[in-house]
A and B are shown apart, each in its own frame.
Chain A
Amino acid sequence: GDSVTQMEGPVTLSEEAFLTINCTYTATGYPSLFWYVQYPGEGLQLLLKATKADDKGSNKGFEATYRKETTSFHLEKGSVQVSDSAVYFCATGTASKLTFGTGTRLQVTL
């Protein structure tokens, strides 16, 4: 079945640092790829997505590019803020079934 591997956290960065959270996947067919974010005490919400190879998803300064050749979808942001502190989940899916990674906690300090 499908699977998603994310880098283990927590990731601790100073404000304005560059962020990369790695994500690789295994899936059959032509899955879409997603990043979801979970802020403290809240449910998950979609951050960005890409539906085919070489697509770049972007939102709120975050970006991720669908790399079919390396089966990766790494999340990046050029300058993180304290308000970005949250847990980030990579996911892959087709139809109505999403497979999530374990999540990576990001802690941004002043």
Chain B
Amino acid sequence: ETGVTQTPRHLVMGMTNKKSLKCEQHLGHNAMYWYKQSAKKPLELMFVYNFKEQTENNSVPSRFSPECPNSSHLFLHLHTLQPEDSALYLCASSQEVGRTQFGELFFGEGSRLTVL
């Protein structure tokens, strides 16, 4: 496998369910990201992990819980979601080379989430 892979590609869940999205990068990068893509809205940065440490939490509701066990894997745990959380969730990775320099973002194909 190469690049950034996300599973599942599609997920339908009820508001009381608990599910997780998984992201894996095979690029040797040290930073990983979760973005939310909704129709007619800019991509929203949700979380950033740099060297497994969370460095950004963009005021994301606590019903979204990220986990980064190592620099290659990133999870987004979902619980008690709302219908407005339905969106495409994109994972990305990059190589941080310093506080003011970073490499290109490589995105996965996304996980399409529908909350009923």
Q: Which residues of A contact B (CB under 8 A)?
A: 4, 36, 41-46, 49, 89, 94-103
Tell me if B42 and A96 are in contact (CB < 8 A): no
Tell me if A46 and B42 are in contact (CB < 8 A): no
Tell me if A43 and B110 are in contact (CB < 8 A): yes
If the complex has contacts A89-B43, A102-B40, are A96 and B107 also in contact, measured as CB distance less than 8 A?
Answer: no
Secondary structure type dominating chain B contacts: strand
Number of interface residues of B (CB under 8 A): 27
- Chain A residue numbers with a CB within 8 Å of B48 are 96-97
Tell me if B100 and A43 are in contact (CB < 8 A): no
Tell me if B42 and A41 are in contact (CB < 8 A): no
Tell me if B96 and A96 are in contact (CB < 8 A): yes
Secondary structure type dominating chain A contacts: strand
- Chain A residue numbers with a CB within 8 Å of B99 are 95
Q: Which residues of B contact A (CB under 8 A)?
A: 4, 31, 33, 40-43, 45, 48, 50, 55-56, 90, 92, 94, 96, 99-102, 104-110
If the complex has contacts A96-B50, A102-B40, are A45 and B96 also in contact, measured as CB distance less than 8 A?
Answer: no
Q: Which of B40, B45, B100 interacts with A98 by CB under 8 Å?
A: B45
B94 CB → nearest A CB, Å: 7
Tell me if B104 and A43 are in contact (CB < 8 A): no
Tell me if A96 and B94 are in contact (CB < 8 A): yes
If the complex has contacts A96-B55, A96-B56, A98-B45, are A41 and B102 also in contact, measured as CB distance less than 8 A?
Answer: no
| 27 A–B pairs (Cβ distance < 8 Å), ordered by A | A36-B105, A36-B107, A42-B109, A43-B90, A43-B92, A43-B107, A43-B109, A44-B90, A44-B92, A44-B105, A45-B106, A94-B100, A95-B100, A96-B31, A96-B33, A96-B48, A96-B55, A96-B56, A96-B96, A96-B102, A97-B48, A97-B56, A99-B45, A100-B42, A102-B40, A102-B41, A102-B42
